[in-house]
Amino acid sequence: IYPLQDDNPIRSFSSFVINLNVKTQPHRDHGDKNGCIVLVLGEHSGGGVCLHEAKVVIETSHGDSVTFRSVDMTHYNLSYVGVRASIVIHSDRTAAAYQKNGNGWDGNVYVK
């Protein structure tokens, strides 16, 4: 729900995570509804983003972004040297429940 019927370009992305010097294990984000955008920051070499099923390694550097369906694709990043951060903007399945009934709180007389 957006004020004044705003057509927000990131409306399908409701959450974000900040990773600092993290090497992730292969995983899928089952809590995501659609996908994610990974923004890579920092002075580093290596640390490419791997999409397992696609058999792709996307080499990244400071300022690069990668978009993919994190709920459907096993993904992780490779080892790196230096300082690497990423901001992951993602969708959230629980947002649908909140829009439907306030996560079950709509009927509560104490919370409006």
Look at residue 107 in the predicted model and tell me its pLDDT.
72
Instruction: Identify whether 39 is part of a domain.
Output: yes
Say if 21 falls within a structural domain. yes
Instruction: Report the CATH number at residue 43.
Output: 2.60.120.1520
* In-domain check, residue 61: yes
Running along the chain, 112 residues long, what does each successive block of 10 average in pLDDT?
53 79 93 88 97 97 95 96 95 68 67 58
* Phi, psi for 31 (deg, rounded to 5): -80, -10
Residue span of the structural domain in which 84 resides? 3-98
pTM reported for the whole predicted model: 0.73
Domain total for the chain? 1
Residue 111 belongs to a domain: no
